[in-house]
Amino acid sequence: MKINLILKTLIISLSVFLLLLLVVNTCSYEPLPDYEESLDSTIQMDSTFEAPAYVVKDWRIKEASGLVYSRNLAKALWTHNDSGDEPRIFLISPKGKFLAQFRLPNHLPFQDVEDICIGGGPIPNQNYIYLGDIGDNKAQRDVKYIYRFLEPKSYKYKQQGNIIAQVETIRFRYEDGKRDAETLMIDPLTKDLYIVSKREKQVNVYILPYPQKADNEVLTAKKIATLHFSYATGGDILANGEEIIIKNYVNIYYWRRKSGESLTQTFQRPPVRVAYLFESQGEGIAWALDGSGYYTLSETVYETRANIYFYRRKD
């Protein structure tokens, strides 16, 4: 009887553990769509970039989503957590070392911040950070937000007392209805903003032309291209405006912009695929400032620390 009681207790405990594990997995991490191949064989593979170097990032950033290389601070990248986090962004080194946390005003909605980019803005010759509150898993939010503020030029090392007090809010909606997105980019040549939707079988690219008003007016993001892949999770445009990368969970897609070409024209041409080592919940991607390669950043999964990878351009 005693042995049977022990066995029953063990079985019940194991069942509860497996149920909890299933719930955590379902709530926290998103499975790949059925129609996404593990390797997109329909698009040519390019060998411009070498296999990555692996480094471990800091545990403070558990659900890293966006990533961008700093323009004002040497050897540093900005990142942030996605939905559910406080209004804040983080500064890390290219090897994943935690450098600083910056707090933003508490009044910001900060509903589902998914990507970050840096470029020009209202004040000439100044670098602005654009933070995209554009996530919407169930396509329920009519109006989305992009937070714009001057990029800091200094920070208190490893401290949380860094404050960004002045933040503008750009409000917009899509011309063709509500949708989810995780990719925000800025064209350094025009200061136009680009948003790439996520959940369609073929995702769409939308433009918010410069200047983007930061007041109560709701702007309209217009569709300028359709890309023949799904689940876009991040993207970046090289600082000189000549190269573009957009990733999903299994591939990185690359375009080279021709001289005098608009990005609308660039996106009409098919991309090539470039090097990518699969990451569990890998979303962030950013060019190195000097164009020597690109970085990717993943989330923490089951208490396994997320990683930052660097893909170096071949000589």
pLDDT tens for each residue of 209-223: 999 999 999 999 999
> How many distinct structural domains can be found in the chain?
1
**Is 9 in a helix, a strand, or coil?**
helix
Q: Report how far residue 240's alpha carbon sits from residue 142's, in angstroms, rounded to the nearest whole number.
A: 33
**Is 263 in a helix, a strand, or coil?**
helix
pLDDT, average across residues 76-100: 92
| 1 within domain boundaries | no
Give strand ranges (E) for 199-287: 204-208, 218-226, 234-237, 243-247, 252-256, 272-274, 282-287
pLDDT tens for each residue of 5-41: 444 444 444 443 433 333 333 333 344 444 344 456 6
Q: Which of 249, 244, 312 is nearest to 279 (CA)?
A: 249
The enclosing domain of 95 has a CATH number of 2.120.10.30
| 69 within domain boundaries | yes
Q: Report how far residue 14's alpha carbon sits from residue 16's, in angstroms, rounded to the nearest whole number.
A: 5
Within 10 A of 315 (CB to CB), how many other CB atoms are there? Answer: 5
Omega prior to 211 cis, within 30 of 0: yes
Residue 14: the pLDDT is 43
Domain span at 288 = 49-312
Give the C-alpha distances (Å, rounded to integers) separating 72 from 108, 118, 140, 240, 246: 24, 10, 36, 16, 24
> pTM of the entire structure?
0.87
pLDDT tens for each residue of 264-312: 999 999 999 999 988 877 889 999 999 999 999 987 666 667 788 999 9
Contacts of 139 (CB under 8 A, 6+ apart): 177, 178, 179, 180, 199
Q: Report how far residue 199's alpha carbon sits from residue 210's, in angstroms, rounded to the nearest whole number.
A: 26
| 36 within domain boundaries | no
Span of 53-57, 62-66, 113-117, 217-221 with lowest mean pLDDT: 53-57
